[in-house]
Amino acid sequence: MARLALAGMGDEEIGASVTTVAGVEFVCDPMGALYCEADGLLVVSDLHLEKGAAFARRGQLLPPYDTHATLKILARVMDRYRPKLVVSLGDNFHDRVGSSLMPADCRTLIVEMARGRDWIWITGNHDPDGVSGLPGTVAESMAFSALTFRHEPAKGAEKGEIAGHLHPAATLRRREKSVRRPCFATDGDRLIMPSFGVMTGGLDLAHVAFRGLFDQTRLIAHMIGKDRVYPVSYRGLKG
Amino acid sequence: METRIDGEPSGIDLLPGAFQRWFAAKGWQPRAHQLSLLEKARAGKSVLLIAPTGAGKTLAGFMPSLTELAERGRKKPGTAFQGVHTLYISPLKALAVDIERNLMKPVGEMGLSLTIETRTGDTPQGKRQRQKLSPPDILLTTPEQLALLIANGEAERFFGDLRYVVFDELHSLVTSKRGHLLSLGLARLRRLAPNMQAIGLSATVADPLDLRKWLVSQSESEAAADIVVTPGGARPLITILESEDRVPWSGHSAGYAIPAVYEEIKAHKTTLIFVNTRSQAERVFQELWTVNDDSLPIALHHGSLDAGQRRKVEAAMAENKLRAVVATSTLDLGIDWGDVDLVIHVGAPKGASRLAQRIGRANHRMDEPSRAILVPANRFEVLECQAALDANYINAQDTPPSGDGALDVLAQHVLGMACAEPFSGDALYEEVRSALPYADLSRATFDRVLDFAATGGYALKSYDRYAKIRQRADGLWRVSNPQTAQQYRLNIGTIVESPMLNVRMVRKNKLGSIGRGGPVLGKIEEYFLESLSQGDTFLFSGKVLRFEGIRENEALASQAFSMDPKVPAYAGGKFPLSTYLAEGVRGLLADRSEWHRLPDQVRDWLEIQHEVSVLPRRDQMLIETFPRGSRFFMVAYPFEGRLAHQTLGMLLTRRLDRMGARPLGFVATDYSLGIWGLDDMGGLIAKRKLDLQGLFDEDMLGDDLEAWLDESYLLKRTFRNCAVIAGLIERRHPGQEKTGRQVTVSADLIYDVLRSHEPDHILLQATRQEAAAGLLDIQRLGAMLTRIRGHILHRPLDRVSPLAVPILLEIGKESVAGNASESLLAEAAEDLIRDAMQG
């Protein structure tokens, strides 16, 4: 598992790509986080914590290790960027009861990570009630300088929207081979975050759900590689 | 106790009057093996009947049931509930339906009063309910339906009176996970009806003892069913196609042979053309139609085609309306055809048993020889066909052994048994061990599987409150809630298909927009469709189609006029050579006195190889090294099949890399393995800087294998299958989810999470076991490495040898795994930078 392996690697071994949304500069980190150096702002999206437990509650006994794994990567991201403010863009937990039933050791990990910084939990469709028993503030959306943070991208939204929800992934085709990777998708006006949870899948950028969200001539997929992020233009995906 | 049938039939007195009169009225005699089987069954034995196709095997299998039911007479109205008398299990739904028809006829003519019904996935709910209340005397069904029936609370009542269970085509059932599940079902039937006897019907197999043991409880050592063997009918007449045209060096399309194949179709009444893969079927069908100047009715039949379309072809076939059908293994088994008088096999038959089975499709009369022609697609296949031909003449069959019972299958069964009734762990363990595949199962492993079925079997015990089954105070295990039983029923079975999409034919209007509502042609694997872009062409259902896009859960395609279609690259299309044929091919290569039996061009090919390089002895493995272009090549010829070679290729390149030989890539075929690199490997060997014996040492199957295996996509695919069968991941059902993508992705993610946190989890163990046995052919590879120790023959050459040409032609057709994906990404990112710099 590539992202989990990164959690054990040194800073110098990990590359990132640079992008600009509504004039604000960010780096896209291969661990799946977006960071704005100028404001000390770190963004992650769709953590889907306790997904395994949520499935187990419905009779599918998926491994109970996904929350640990996701938090381990998140801790490494915190350590790498030491942000002042963390925004988690919704679907923080896989279901409504996830945050209250979370095992104590995982809760402790989050409490430790949040120490000394602000934390905003944006609500998502999986966790519309927000989180319980965790540090930080719950909000439906957040405006910050030229940017708006919400879970689900809004059609016709103002410039500077940063959203999640769709779990974008891009498929690159070259010489009858194809590579599919999660990606940060942006046309410079809007950015959609890849999902951060280790047990979350992706949705192809060509899917109808992305229609109308981007100016495709400027759309760039920052595809997550083994230890770096590769920016590829949407039109260049087909080779 | 074994009975061979050759003399006059005796024991006609065993038959009730109605049977004797029926045989007499028909002017027939009961066959000796039918009577012999009856005699043994009457003596209370379970029996394995081995007989060739066309020997009246099915009637023989039902003889004990029919005679007993005839003597029992009509059930009086108002009598107590009576359970099923005979259960018949076939690998194919269609076969069960076919048998019903074939059995009804003699039963009707004899005036027997008994009921025969089928129960398959297609049986309406109402009929199923009715069958439970009032079971037929004879129930014809499939392994999956049996699993459902025994997991039901009524199972005890339903099967309490069971006298016989008849397994058709047993040889094809036992080797797979499906057979493992069936063996567990049989173990349960033995418990529900202790007097029940099992009857197995099988084609000729290498090791009948395996099947004999499979049929009976293994709680007593050396227990095995009796056996009745019918000698084969007339020997089939098999030839290798002789063609004026050049046999290609490599490839699988056999395009050169199409005109000759067409002439054979014209010269016969009905021809069955077997191929190895669905894409090959499409290709051969397409090419036959381009030479079909007489517009002969030639049809196509493979598993991806729409079921309605397949039924039409089968019906037309039965009515003798077709002159030829191009088919894959979907027609290997069962169903009786009309007057097939020729079987053509395109490509090497990949196993002698498979060949025998397919040839048996022609001419279902025992006394006349079947006629078959083998069409090798390339030069190595000529050798393989010749080896197969020799194998068939000496009747050496090579059905693989049934193997150790899979643990994912056991997990499914454990859950099913909890759905049926509360069970004790001790009793179920004993019952499971009575099934041959699980005879050696340890209690510790059984308990881990039980733990898995209950709470997922994780070291981190956080799911106890979500347990699916629980041990109560009385020590018995029960399902926790009705939802568990429902989930079990939806996820039953061992066949896991890769995600498929319907392919719908649409029309394009003048403006280029796409209409709706054309016919569905069949299903294609989603991963293949996802690799297509709009406008790409591909061959499917005998048509060249243009891909228009994916809409909702369907792929849309329009008629294309392209002459050079991409061909669907189906999964599972590549078969390994069986060991037996591999040995035959090695023998043929080594023995020049046998070459006169080969076509001229192939003989010339070997003669030149003999002159410029060498042909290895039967016990040797040849390695050639030579430079070509800017690269250096090393080609090995183990003849152990593609899977073993691929594994070997992965391991050798790792080792060469460590030894500093700078390998760049490799390619594997059924016959040989080619590695290329930047350094002269031949020179390194000559200078003793590279030790060949060390390179091929068996210890590569240790750490190197472990390290590589964990990264391999093969393991992920296997894990997905295991996880679905074991019930960790739910099976998809039509309309339930948009696409299979989500299942695929999440199985990979689950694999990653589990591997990094609990590498010894029981499901990962099951996955590794299965991959090692099946996908990677580790066993075969291990045997080969032992065999060649001290027998490696190295021949350094200045240039490529004739024997190496086929594999060099494969380079570029196969993708090389590893870091290739990352470099593709880097390349695309550079494109973006270049564009930006220009802008």
Q: Taking the CB of residue B189, how many other CB atoms lie within 10 A of it? A: 20
Q: Which chain B residue's Cα is nearest to A209? A: B552
Residues B676-713, buried b or exposed e (16+ Cβ, 10 A)? bbebbbbebbeeeebebeebbeeebbeebbeebbeebe
| H helices, E strands: number in chain B | 32, 27
Alpha carbon A18 to chain centroid, angstroms: 16
Q: Which residues of A touch B (CB under 8 A)?
A: 1, 4, 52-53, 56-57, 59-66, 68-69, 103, 171-174, 176-179, 181, 198-202, 220, 223, 225-226, 230-233, 236-239
Which of A64, A199, A201 shows the shortest C-beta gap to B460?
A64
Span of A43-47, A100-104, B567-571, B645-649 with lowest mean pLDDT: B567-571
Mutate to test the interface with A, among B408, B465, B466 (most CBs of A within 10 A): B466
Contact B754 A65 (CB under 8 A): yes
The pLDDT of residue B744:
39
| A150-159: Cβ within 8 A, 24+ apart | A150/A89, A150/A90, A150/A122, A151/A45, A151/A89, A151/A90, A151/A91, A151/A122, A151/A123, A151/A124, A151/A125, A152/A90, A152/A124, A152/A125, A153/A190, A153/A192, A153/A213, A155/A212, A155/A213, A157/A190, A159/A22, A159/A189, A159/A190
φ, ψ for residue B822, nearest 5 deg = -65, -40
Spell out the residues 6+ positions from residue B306 whose beta carbon is closer than 8 angstroms to its own: B519, B520, B521, B522, B523, B541
CB contact under 8 A, A201 and B463: no
Contact B445, B438 (CB under 8 A): no
> Which chain B residue has the Cα nearest residue A102?
B462
The pLDDT confidence band at residue B319, using thresholds 50, 70 and 90, is confident
Provide the residue type at B341 as one letter: D
In sequence order, which residues have a C-beta less than 8 Å from that of residue A220 and are 6 or more positions away? A19, A185, A186, A187, A231, A232, A233, A234, B832
Residues in chain B closer than 8 A to A95 (CB atoms):
none
Q: Check CB contact under 8 Å for B750 and A63.
A: yes
Give the one of B455, B745, B832 whose C-beta lies nearest to A231's C-beta.
Answer: B832
Strand, coil or helix: B557: strand
| DSSP classification of residue B334 | S
**Alpha-carbon gap, residue B792 to B637, rounded angstroms:** 10
Work out the average pLDDT over B789-796: 92
pLDDT attached to residue B731: 77
Q: Predicted confidence band at B768 (pLDDT cuts at 50, 70, 90)?
A: confident
Instruction: Give the CA radius of gyration of chain A.
Output: 17
Angle B402-B403-B407 (CA atoms, 0-180°, nearest 5)?
120
Which residue, A42, A45, A50, is CA-closest to A68?
A: A50
Rounded Cα distance, B723 and B719, in Å: 6
Contacts of B296 (CB under 8 A, 6+ apart): B265, B266, B323, B324
B80-to-B83, B161, B458 alpha-carbon distances in Å = 10, 12, 48
Question: Where do the domains of chain A lie, and which CATH numbers do they carry?
Answer: 2-6+18-236 (3.60.21)
Sort out which chain B residues have CB atoms less than 8 A from A53's CB and list them: 462-463, 466
CA distance B830 to chain A (A): 8
SS3 state of residue B305: strand
Average pLDDT over residues B555-561: 83
Domains defined along chain B, listed by start: 2-229 (3.40.50.300), 237-393 (3.40.50.300), 500-559 (no CATH), 614-839 (no CATH)
Q: In Å, how far is B756's CA from the nearest CA of chain A? A: 8
Token code pair at residue B29: 């005699």
The C-alpha of B659 sits at a distance from chain A's nearest C-alpha, in angstroms, of 26
What is the rounded average pLDDT of the residues B378-387? 86
**pLDDT for B777 beyond 90:** no
Q: How many helices (H) and strands (E) does chain A have?
A: 5, 16
* Chain A environment of B568 (Cβ under 8 Å): none
| A103–B462 C-beta distance less than 8 A | yes
Q: Which of A59, A179, A201 sits opposite B746 (nearest CB)?
A: A201
Which chain B residues have a beta carbon less than 8 Å from that of A202? 745
Contact between B198 and B46 (Cβ < 8 Å): yes
pLDDT score of A237 more than 90: no
Query: Of A70-84, B12-26, B65-79, B733-747, which gets the smallest average pLDDT?
Result: B733-747
Name which of B533, B753, B828 is nearest A174 (Cβ-Cβ).
B828
Neighbour count for residue B558 (Cβ, 10 Å): 15
Mean pLDDT of B264-277: 89
pLDDT at position A120: 97
Pairing, β A137-139 against β B371-375: unpaired
Residues paired with residue B383 on neighbouring β-strands, in sequence order: none
- Mark yes or no for CB contact A230/B462 under 8 Å: no
Q: Under a CB-based contact definition with an 8 Å cutoff, are residues B505 and B495 in contact?
A: no
DSSP, collapsed to helix, strand or coil, labels residue B525 as: strand
Identify all chain B residues contacting A6, using CB atoms and an 8 Å cutoff.
none
Interface test with A, best of B484, B551, B743, B749 (most A CBs within 10 A): B749
Q: What pLDDT is attached to residue A28?
A: 97
Average of per-residue pLDDT values in chain B:
83
DSSP state of A176: T
Q: Which amino acid is at B288?
A: L
What φ, ψ does residue B164 adopt, rounded to 5°?
A: -135, 145
Residue B145 binned pLDDT confidence (cut-offs 50, 70, 90): very high
Question: Are the C-beta atoms of B676 and B666 separated by less than 8 Å?
Answer: yes
CA distance A28 to chain B (A): 14
Judged by average pLDDT, the poorest of A93-102, A131-140, B306-315, B629-638 is B306-315
Q: Which residues of B touch A (CB under 8 A)?
A: 455-456, 458, 460, 462-463, 466, 468, 483-484, 487, 530-531, 533, 728-730, 741-742, 745-746, 749-750, 752-758, 761, 815, 820-822, 824-829, 831-832, 835
Q: Which residue has the higher pLDDT, B306 or B471?
A: B471
Those residues whose C-beta lies under 8 Å from the C-beta of residue B153, and which sit 6 or more positions away, are B419, B420, B421
Tokens of B238: 């098999």
Taking 90 as the threshold, does the pLDDT of residue B705 lie above it? no
User: Average pLDDT of A107-115?
Assistant: 96
Distance from CA of A20 to the nearest CA of B (A): 15
Q: How distant is the Cα of B739 from the closest Cα of chain A, in angstroms? A: 11
Q: For residue A41, is pLDDT > 50? A: yes
The mean-pLDDT minimum among A114-118, B538-542, B616-620 falls in: B538-542
Q: Which of A65, A167, A195, A222 to mutate to test the interface with B (most CBs of B within 10 A)?
A: A65
Q: How far A142 CA lies from chain B's nearest CA (Å)? A: 31
Q: Considering CB atoms only, which of B462, B828, B832 is closest to A64?
A: B462
Instruction: Write the DSSP assignment of A134-168 as a string of letters.
Output: SSSEEESEEEETTEEEESSPPTTPPSSEEE-SS-E
With beta carbons under 8 A apart, name residues in chain B contacting A68. 757
**What pLDDT is stored for residue B335 in this prediction?**
57
Cβ contacts (< 8 Å) between B829 and chain A: which residues?
A: 230-232
Q: Residue for token digits 């989180």? A: A131
C-alpha gyration radius of chain B: 29
Spatial CA neighbour of A160 closest among A25, A16, A17 = A25
CB B343 within 8 Å of CB B359: yes
Q: Which residues have a Cβ under 8 Å from the Cβ of A105 and sit 6 or more positions away?
A: none
The model's pLDDT over B201-244, given as tens digits with 9 standing for 90+, comes to: 987 777 789 999 999 999 987 789 999 988 766 677 888 888 77
* Per-residue pLDDT, B160: 94
Distance from CA of B159 to the nearest CA of A (A): 30
Residue tagged 């039933």 (tokens): A101
The pLDDT value recorded for residue B736 is 46
Nearest to B753 among A172, A198, A230 (CB): A198
| Residue at B32: amino acid letter | A
pLDDT over threshold 90, residue A113: yes
- DSSP character string of A28-92: E-TTS-EEETTTTEEEE----BTHHHHHHHTT----TTHHHHHHHHHHHHHHHH--SEEEE-S--
Distance CA(B638)–CA(B623), nearest Å, equals: 9
pLDDT at B574: 45
Cross-chain residue pair B741–A201, CB shorter than 8 Å = yes
